[in-house]
Structure 1
Amino acid sequence: MTAPATPEPLWEVEDVSTYLRVPVQTLYQWRKRKYGPPAARVGRHLRYDPASVRTWFADQSQAA
């Protein structure tokens, strides 16, 4: 029997900023406009599922 796979850690705003190569402030503006990769609040912090960020990015690439 194999052990369950460990999920990838959630990304912080800075991680998404680095991945997408956009300023952190841009991510906050996108969130206010209901655009950009989905994020969830954990306490007062935003966290992103890396798989969701990659999927969002792929969808944007196809739409262009």
Structure 2
Amino acid sequence: MTLPTRRHDLGDDMTDTTLWNIDEVAAYLRVPVLTIRWLRQEGRFAPAIKVGRRLVWDARDIATWLESQREVEAA
């Protein structure tokens, strides 16, 4: 599967950021868009960035959130 990428060059002063819309996030996580909406409503998802009326997510925030969802192995 090819990961969705949307590269935005922010210049020399800022880092390069990949922003994903809700469809791209859902595709990356292989879940329905409704699951992303539900997790957001419950306050259990990575923080979104509001750009006008649209929501986007920094791919790094999605990766951090995903890692935090990893189950802990039983000892």
Range into which the TM-score falls when normalised by the shorter chain: 0.7 to 0.9
Q: Which runs of 5+ in 2 are unaligned?
A: 1-10
Find the residue that maps to 2:18 and give its secondary structure.
coil
**Aligned Cα RMSD in Å?**
2.1
- Aligned-pair CA distance for 1:44: 1.0
Q: Which has the higher contact order (CA 8 A, sep 6+)?
A: 1
Percent of pairs with identical residues: 35
- Structure having the larger proportion of residues in strand: 2
- Structure having the larger proportion of residues in helix: 1
**Cα offsets for 1:3-46 (capped at 9, x unmatched):** 84851331110111011111111111111111112112111111
Pairs within 5 Å for 1:17-36 = 17-36=26-45
Query: TM-score if structure 1 supplies the norm length?
Result: 0.79
Query: TM-score if structure 2 supplies the norm length?
Result: 0.69
Q: Which runs of 5+ in 1 are unaligned?
A: none
The structure 1 segments of at least 4 consecutive aligned residues displaced by more than 2 Å after TM superposition are: 3-6
